[in-house]
Amino acid sequence: MHDTTTTETQRIQSIHRDFVGTNGTQSVTIKMPLPGQVQIEAQSSTPSDSWSFRNAYAGVLGIAERISDFRSTTSSDEDAGVKKIATGEFRSDLPASKISYRVNLSKPTAADVSHVSWIAGDYGLLMMGDLLPQEFANISVRFELPGMWSVTSSSSGTANLYQDVAPEKAVFLIGRSFYKASQVVDDVPVTTVIGGRWPFKERDAAGAATRVMKSYLALTKYKLPAGAFVLIAPLPVKVGDIKWRAETRGSTVMLLIDPDADFNNWVGQLSIIFTHELLHLWVPNGLRLEGDYDWFFEGFTLYTALQTALKLKIIDFNEYLNTLGRVYDSYLSHDDDLSLIEASERRWTTPGSLIYDKGMLLAFLYDLKIRKESRGATTLSDRYRELFSGAVAANTSGNDAIIALLDSPPAMNGFARAYVDSKAKLELEQVLPSYGLTLNSSSKQSQLSVNPDLNAEQRQLLRSLGYRK
């Protein structure tokens, strides 16, 4: 099975914006008057004269250009005299308690399909983060959809009323028919919703999600309060070679796949995607850390997902090594002239995959080193447990908190700091032999393999990673 890690396409961003609830609470009604278009009406408990819509997100620009026919009305049903002062920015002469507008969602693109709302064919993903003004903090939502269309969400409620919805994290899948399976894994509710026709059995996909959830509950020992809501829907636009797009927002994993993709093993492929995306429910979505520490929540997530895939026998040890070899080639093919912190800050504005490739390889080296230094007593997994044990304070710098956590064992003192904060390059050829691994870069693709003459300590270390000889 091919890994999906080296060119990971999903772009996950945890939003740490604190909204001042200047508009009180809002009741929102969403209608679909035409295919691909929504009509939104919102009534606020407190009048307002200013509304701002998200215009940029995860490298996607111009999101608010899809909004038209914006109107505002006072509490006495007078026209409040609204003006558009910039893309997504509306101001009215009078305070208004009601607004209405249309949003054209009919043109998803390869770049934005997992990040912003769309409606195409028989399905649509409605993300409140880009459909509602950013001043809205606590809403109730009602849907009036054409016959045969229904709606599902991790928010509690029905189409008639979803209450206490936080727009930043709320995602609704609309469509003509869904498969839905709900399970409880170690007290945590896991719901899988699948729209469309697929070459796999829906219950096998739900089972794969459940297995991965179980594994991450064991890793973190942290029971996600909101559970997990996994949405699978047909990808509404061609996206090139990867054939899928994903984003994990709040407690929702959105996975959009080309139903015609030629995966040899669909459930295996879904499982691989789940090992990455489901971990995002914890990291970063379950954390309250600030700043750009993407090198950790993407790079270390890639490595931990790979370890988990190996543990769950979705891949074998050869594939584990081959994946790391490919990632190393990818790392070497780009300039490494930024620190991981700088690369995290520029993730959406510069090309390249440094946070993914270098972050993942750094996690690998960390795991090797701590296993060796502790003679197998501790692993990288233990840091995840600590991360969710309350040891890391909320609302602090993610970079400082994670580096301090990784460097907390005396044997690891300064390790993460050196590689994350400075521009230290990774040189696997130099480092790996002491762990019993050899990197052969003489052919076009680097080959990572186990040294045939392992000493007892190396054998034990590699076995703890999943080597079976």
Q: Of residues 293-322, which lie at the interface with Zn ion (CB under 5 A)?
A: 298
Pick out residues in 8-67 that bind Zn ion (CB under 5 A).
12
Stretch that binds Zn ion, among 5-13, 66-74, 186-194, 342-350 (CB under 5 A): 5-13
Which residue lies nearer to Zn ion by CB, 6 or 458? 6
Q: Quote the least distance from Cβ 419 to Zn ion, whole Å.
A: 20
- Residue 12 or 173: which CB sits closer to Zn ion? 12
Say how far apart CA 272 and CA 279 lie, in whole Å. Answer: 11
Strands (DSSP E) contained in 88-240 are: 89-104, 118-120, 123-127, 138-144, 150-153, 157-158, 161-165, 171-175, 178-185, 188-195, 228-234
Interface residues for Zn ion in 141-170 (CB under 5 A)? none
Q: How far is CA 301 from the centre of its chain?
A: 10
Closest CA to 283 of 406, 128, 148: 406
**What's the token pair of residue 62?**
């111009």
Contacts of 313 (CB under 8 A, 6+ apart): none
Q: Which stretch binds Zn ion (CB under 5 A): 189-197, 292-300, 314-322, 328-336?
A: 292-300
Count of residues that bind Zn ion according to CB under 5 A: 2
* Structure-token match 């993709």, residue found: 261
Q: Which is nearer to Zn ion, 168 or 298 (CB)?
A: 298
CB of 353 to Zn ion, least distance (A): 11
DSSP string, 267-294: HHHHHHHHHHHGGGGTTTTT---BS--H
**Choice between 105 and 324, CB closer to Zn ion:** 324
CB of 305 to Zn ion, least distance (A): 9
CA atoms within 13 A on the CB side of 78: 9
The distance of closest approach from Cβ of residue 350 to Zn ion in the complex, given in angstroms and rounded to an integer, is 17
Q: What angle do CA 180, 183, 186 make, to 5 degrees?
A: 155
Q: Cβ closer to Zn ion: 3 or 298?
A: 298
| Part of the chain binding Zn ion (CB under 5 A), chosen from 111-119, 165-173, 250-258, 291-299 | 291-299
Q: How far is the CB of 279 from Zn ion (least distance, A)?
A: 8
Q: Which two tokens stand for residue 149?
A: 């269309």
CB of 7 to Zn ion, least distance (A): 12
| Cβ-based neighbour number of residue 305 at 10 Å | 27
The token pair at 98 is 């009601």
Report the nearest approach of Zn ion to the CB of residue 156 (Å). Answer: 27
The pairing of strands 178-185 and 188-195 is: antiparallel
Q: In the range 395-414, which residues lie near Zn ion by CB under 5 A?
A: none
Minimum CB distance to Zn ion smaller for 114 or for 191: 114
Q: Which stretch binds Zn ion (CB under 5 A): 7-15, 310-318, 370-378, 394-402?
A: 7-15
**DSSP 3-state assignment of 79?**
strand
State the residues that interact with Zn ion by CB under 5 A: 12, 298
